[in-house]
Structure 1
Amino acid sequence: MNRASTFSKPGVSSIWRRNQRRLAPLLFLAPGVVMFAVYVVLPIFQSVWISFFHWDGMGPKDWAGLTNYTDLYDDPAFWTSLKNNLIWMALYLLAIPLGLAAAIFLNQNVTGIRIYKSLFFFPFVISQVVVGLIFSWFYAPGIGLLPEITEWLGLGQIAVLADERYVTYAVIVAGLWPQIAYCMIIYLTGLNNIAADQIEAARLDGARGLRMLRYVILPQLRPATFIALVVTVIGALRSFDLISIMTSGGPYGSSRVLSYYMYEQALSEYGYQMGYGAAIAVVLLVIMMLFISGFVWRMFGDEKEG
């Protein structure tokens, strides 16, 4: 069917010509909006609805009202998971300044800089499963490097993944490795877009080192910082794969986070409580939305002030 036949009717053709500038963007956006609604928005509402039932995922649903949410309040495993999520989020934010430092180091023209960029970029390319396996071997007593280091320091071989005091921090360190690389890539893109004339003007005014960074570079990196902050917080709150590979929530559930506890309750052989798992997912969604809404609100405020 050609263009002429498509708009053969005078009414349709005139409507298209009058509203082409408004309708064309909507037509381009429509497929993405439909996909987002079907695969993101609709499952969110379904999860909220399921959280009000007792359901094993197969049989009939039994209405539970707010029982699943009140049960969370009395569940010590839920509070342990929430505490670990907050620890993840606090320590994961270290990826932002470390990624900025790596980006500044790599944003220079020296011999061999491409090799250094490849080495720093490598953790972002490999799978999280591979990262988990690498660090599991690194931490393993008898074969890992870390136990050998602690033994050389006179502390003995410490099995950090089997110790409730250290396991969460050990997994976070493994997660920080690719997250720093991710933030570095975001900042490298931002550094390439910095206005060169402002840098030269600041140098003529005597700005060097930290003063240049604080008053000239960082203000121009605000969009990159916002993106790095959002993806880092989301990554900390939805951490799952490293815990699944490295600890399976152990020892004794001490390394669980909300996403992994949700999986245990809803989909693992120990749970099949879809309603309870959906309630955990809703709580995680609310926490995530609160943080993201705060970041977006702050960004709009900065834009208005600018």
Structure 2
Amino acid sequence: MTAAPAIPGSASGLPGPRKRRRLSRKLAPWLFLAPGMLMFLIYVIIPILQSMWISFYQWDGLSPKHWIGMENYVELLDDDAFYTSLKNNVIWLVLYMLAIPAGLFIALFLNQKLRGIRLYKSLFFFPFVISQVVVGLIFSWFYAPGFGLFFALTKWLDGTGIAILANPHLVTYGIIAAGLWPQIAYCMILYLTGLNSVAPDQIEAARLDGAKGLKMLWYVVLPQLRPATFIALVVTIIGALRSFDLVSIMTSGGPFGSSRVLSYYMYEQALSEYGYRMGYGAAIAVVLFAIMMIFISGFIWKMWRDERGL
């Protein structure tokens, strides 16, 4: 008697070709994602969890940690500097939203076929390519008493001049104006990219129906710019909440702590010569992270609903 031929994937116990292909198709995406997920775990997730853990300690960064539970968070509730920083972050968040419509209208202007439009695009694109440190220095000179252009203009108007970075009531608005300059340029680039994908046949159909001006913008152009608007909104909100560099360069939180934001106050408490309170700084970081997660979770939820067509 001759032995029956072995059936792949049955008697031998080894997976057949089809099973191997299915298994490889299932594993391939995870293999490609694994390096990125590993880096995300090491450099993002683990530091976030460590910050949360440190926020329950009293620690100067060198000596042994001392467990104090929720005392850092209780202290935050009675900290006037924390409330000033939180209020300034809210002001940043509200006024930074101006970058989105401003970037949209500049992009609409630059999207037209005009003579010399490339030069205009270069001028509006310039703030995006320079660093925030340079932006902070430029506006510090712009506001500087004595030789700053803004000070000279206000002196010409009222005879005394306004030293905006030395005024506790105006300093936050002056720094926000400096931050809006590159942020508007970034939103403009996003909308310029989105305008290139606007369907010309829909524009022509709307013109034949008599739509023009604001009606054309609202009912035809803006619906096709939803992805660009979504990205601009996310990036602008994150930029407003992590506004550290301009505050550090332009005022170092002054005058009298009136321009602090949560990110700078966290640095001031945890890492500057005035603090070295790692646990308290970590508690501030956790609060800032929670605020960011509220917005980010909302955006992810909306993106998921849009993809599912709900």
CA shift digits 1:173-193 (9 cap, x unpaired): 000000000101111111111
- What amino acid maps onto 2:259 in structure 1? S
Give the structure 2 partner of residue 118 of structure 1: 122
RMSD over equivalenced CA pairs, Å: 1.6
Aligned partners of 1:270, 1:136: CA distance in 2, in Å? 24
Give the structure 2 partner of residue 139 of structure 1: 143
Aligned partners of 2:24, 2:309: CA distance in 1, in Å? 35
Offset, 1:110: 1.7
Give aligned pairs, total: 297
Give the structure 2 partner of residue 186 of structure 1: 190
Offset, 1:303: 4.6
Give the structure 1 partner of residue 108 of structure 2: 104
Give the structure 1 partner of residue 297 of structure 2: 293
- 1:1-306 superposed matches below 5 A: 11=14, 16-305=20-309
Task: Give the SS at the match of 2:43.
Answer: helix
Aligned partners of 1:260, 1:290: CA distance in 2, in Å? 20
Structure 2 CA distance for partners of 1:182 and 1:13, relative to 1, 3 Å: farther
CA shift digits 1:230-281 (9 cap, x unpaired): 1000000000000000000000000000000000000001111000000000
Aligned partners of 2:26, 2:302: CA distance in 1, in Å? 30
- What amino acid maps onto 2:73 in structure 1? Y
Offset, 1:29: 1.2
- What amino acid maps onto 1:271 in structure 2? G
Aligned partners of 1:38, 1:217: CA distance in 2, in Å? 42
Offset, 1:11: 5.0
Offset, 1:298: 3.2
Offset, 1:156: 1.6
CA shift digits 1:8-58 (9 cap, x unpaired): xx9589564332222212111111111111101110001001001001111
Q: Which runs of 5+ in 1 are unaligned?
A: 1-9
Offset, 1:292: 1.7
More displaced 10-residue stretch of structure 1: 176-185 or 110-119: 110-119
Offset, 1:296: 2.7
Aligned partners of 1:147, 1:12: CA distance in 2, in Å? 78
CA shift digits 1:81-101 (9 cap, x unpaired): 000000000000000000001
CA shift digits 1:133-155 (9 cap, x unpaired): 00000000111000110011125
Q: Which has the larger radius of gyration?
A: 2
Aligned partners of 2:306, 2:153: CA distance in 1, in Å? 47
More displaced 10-residue stretch of structure 1: 19-28 or 117-126: 19-28
| Percent identical | 72
Task: Give the SS at the match of 2:162.
Answer: coil
Aligned partners of 1:244, 1:294: CA distance in 2, in Å? 30
Offset, 1:63: 0.4
Aligned partners of 1:95, 1:172: CA distance in 2, in Å? 11
CA shift digits 1:164-219 (9 cap, x unpaired): 01000000000000000010111111111111111111111111010000000111
- What amino acid maps onto 2:165 in structure 1? L
Aligned partners of 2:297, 2:164: CA distance in 1, in Å? 36
Task: Give the SS at the match of 1:153.
Answer: helix
Structure 2 CA distance for partners of 1:230 and 1:103, relative to 1, 3 Å: same
Q: Which runs of 5+ in 2 are unaligned?
A: 1-12
Q: Runs (4+) of structure 1 moved beyond 6 Å?
A: none
Aligned partners of 1:303, 1:28: CA distance in 2, in Å? 23
Task: Give the SS at the match of 1:99.
Answer: helix
- What TM-score do the two structures reach when normalised by structure 1? 0.94
